[in-house]
């Protein structure tokens, strides 16, 4: 009986030591992640996500698809500089961020050592860091000329599917080969 009691005490001591070691190895980050998860679980229980009968977001996306999913659709890009002055481009289709690609930009490889995410070359055979997302390009509506512009650092662009007649756009300077009048002649 004493031998059996000693085995139980030894097992309990081992469990207590294991629990103590486990709690000692829990990092501050683990504790904070657990606190965040506990908070999230509590909030979900108290305030579960509601259910919508209609999604205005899905409707807007579908309208975007309907608007821009047509071959030859023209876009009017108004650019505002830091002084509040406007200029415009008229493009075939939408301006495209330079960081968009037609092929995957990364390849995931699994090995016995772990998982590696490897960069892939772009269509031009070079690699990019994704830092070109503030540069946009496209083609002029009447001449097909390549155009590129950047945004950020006090420069913004506004995109429309028709020319704007609002006062702030009335003085916009033509920045590309096509004017609103040139496009109207083509229609």
* 110's tokens: 């699994």
Q: What was the pLDDT predicted at 130?
A: 66
Calculate the CA dihedral of residues 37, 41, 43, 46 and round it to 10 degrees: -170
**Contact yes or no for 76/162 (Cβ under 8 A):** yes
Helix or strand (DSSP H, E) at 170: helix 167-170
Calculate the CA dihedral of residues 150, 155, 157, 163 and round it to 10 degrees: -110
**Which regions of the chain are under pLDDT 70?**
1-25, 130, 187
Q: What was the pLDDT predicted at 79?
A: 94
**Contact yes or no for 148/96 (Cβ under 8 A):** no
Write b or e for each residue in 58-95: b if 16 or more Cβ atoms lie within 10 A of its Cβ, otherwise e: eeeeeeeeeeeeeeeebbbbbbbeeeeebbbbbbbebb
Q: What was the pLDDT predicted at 23?
A: 54
Q: What was the pLDDT predicted at 187?
A: 67
User: Which single residue is written with the structure tokens 């965040």?
Assistant: 36
Q: What is the pTM of this model?
A: 0.68
Q: What was the pLDDT predicted at 170?
A: 85
* 178's tokens: 């096509």
Q: What was the pLDDT predicted at 101?
A: 84
């Amino acid at each position: 009986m004493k031998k059996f009691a000693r085995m139980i005490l030894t097992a309990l001591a081992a469990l207590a030591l294991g629990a103590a070691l486990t709690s000692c190895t829990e990092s501050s980050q683990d504790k904070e992640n657990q606190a965040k998860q506990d908070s999230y679980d509590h909030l979900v229980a108290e305030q579960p996500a509601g259910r919508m009968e209609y999604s205005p977001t899905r409707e807007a996306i579908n309208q975007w698809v309907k608007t821009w999913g047509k071959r030859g659709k023209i876009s009017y890009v108004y650019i505002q500089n830091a002084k509040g002055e406007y200029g415009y481009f008229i493009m075939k289709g939408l301006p495209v961020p330079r960081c968009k690609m037609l092929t995957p930009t990364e390849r995931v490889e699994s090995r016995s050592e772990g998982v590696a995410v490897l960069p892939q070359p772009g269509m031009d055979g070079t690699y990019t860091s994704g830092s070109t997302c503030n540069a946009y390009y496209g083609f002029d509506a009447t001449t097909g000329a390549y155009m590129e512009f950047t945004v950020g650092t006090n420069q913004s662009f506004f995109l429309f599917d028709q020319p704007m007649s609002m006062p702030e756009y009335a003085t916009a300077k033509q920045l590309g080969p096509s004017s609103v009048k040139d496009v109207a002649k083509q229609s």
